[in-house]
Structure 1
């Protein structure tokens, strides 16, 4: 309790007490305003961060989806490349390539895919600029999963020792189940008649890289099985 000298009147004592209380209230109000301001700033930053994260996830998802066009390009180009049986810079390797810690062929990873052309994500036939960061840029490279070049006369046992090879398409399944889908792969590659019963298959690894806006990047790998011999 605050004591005032007896010379002060009751009105003066009350006035001094009111002024003291008003000063305390203003101080508390300023602290409250400061706390609310900090909370508002934190909320705005949290909202901005959530928006950035959502945007990055969307771009990442889009780059992964665009990888399908790269796999389709490889699928369409492979029969001609495999028949020619020769390395094509930035596109095809007739032998299995060493890979880095991420499973990417070191032949392309070591120079950051500089030799591999870029295409858009709509399936356009013309190569586009790989430096256009506002667009989705699709690249693909194929390597045949063989440690030694196979010969068309190799029997399946010898072929298997050289390559990742599969059974002939004709033994890919049994009647009534997935045999038809196995045989359809041959038809897609241009053969309207079933392959010979002893014709083996060779596996090819396709590595697709897609770059998108905001430095979004996706790398997808798939394997294609192609009749050989």
Structure 2
């Protein structure tokens, strides 16, 4: 009878030990699951912020294009010289005073963007987009080696032929449209989007 009682106590002890091990394993699994969910949430949040920043950068490019068009209509020679107050540089060479945006350190420096242009448009005030809270600035660089009229020996020029062979249409003197068969200098538009949670994104677009 005594042996039976001892055997029963041992069995209960083994069952308790196994139950404790199972409890520890379940606790570890729960912690791992929570961490996995947190990580997925963070990744999803980061992807959403990047997508929003990319969309916002388009607003900066649109503003830059509108500014370039206004200069061409007013006087194309306006684009032969730097206009740092508007974030415009007639060359891309650092030795000519243009910021070296190929350098990561220069690109990220706050001083580089001190005189950059601000995005404008519906829902944007002072460069800040109301819907996203993103602050959008841009710098335009003409891909030329000197601050003079564009020429093939000093500038990267875009082909006036576009895709299917159509010509670029530009405003005429009388307010109508004319066909532009001349090559245009290429412009590099770099946008900086400072968003929520201290996120900063950069994008570059080449246009002509």
TM-score (norm 2): 0.77
Of 158, 161, 176, 1:192 maps to 176
Contact 2:168 2:180 in 1 (8 A): no
Aligned length: 196
Matched ranges for 1:79-94 at <5 A? 79-81=69-71, 83=75, 84-85=78-79, 86-89=81-84, 91-94=87-90
Q: Secondary structure at the residue paired with 2:2? A: helix
> Which residue of structure 1 aligns with residue 111 of structure 2?
111
Matched ranges for 1:1-229 at <5 A? 11-81=1-71, 83=75, 84-85=78-79, 86-89=81-84, 91-98=87-94, 99-101=100-102, 106=106, 109=109, 111=111, 113-116=113-116, 118-119=118-119, 123-124=122-123, 126-128=125-127, 135-151=133-149, 159-166=151-158, 169=160, 172=161, 177-179=164-166, 182-184=167-169, 186-187=170-171, 192-195=176-179, 199-225=182-208
What's the offset of the Cα at 1:119?
4.1
Structure with bigger strand share is 2
> Which of the pair has more CA radius of gyration?
1
Q: Secondary structure at the residue paired with 2:191? A: strand
CA distance in 1, matches of 2:162, 2:7: 97
Contact 2:135 2:195 in 1 (8 A): yes
Shift in alpha-carbon separation, 1:29–1:51, aligned structure 2, 3 A: same
Shift in alpha-carbon separation, 1:89–1:30, aligned structure 2, 3 A: same
- Structure 2 gap ranges (5+): 95-99
TM-score (norm 1): 0.71
What's the offset of the Cα at 1:208?
1.2
**How far does the alpha carbon of each residue in 1:152-209 deviate from its partner, in whole angstroms, 9 at most, with x for none?**
xx7xxxx111211245x4xx269xx431xx323x249x96242575x44222111112
- Structure 1 gap ranges (5+): 1-10
**How far does the alpha carbon of each residue in 1:1-32 deviate from its partner, in whole angstroms, 9 at most, with x for none?**
xxxxxxxxxx2221122112111211111111
What's the offset of the Cα at 1:116?
2.4
Contact 1:56 1:216 in 2 (8 A): no
Q: Secondary structure at the residue paired with 2:69? A: helix
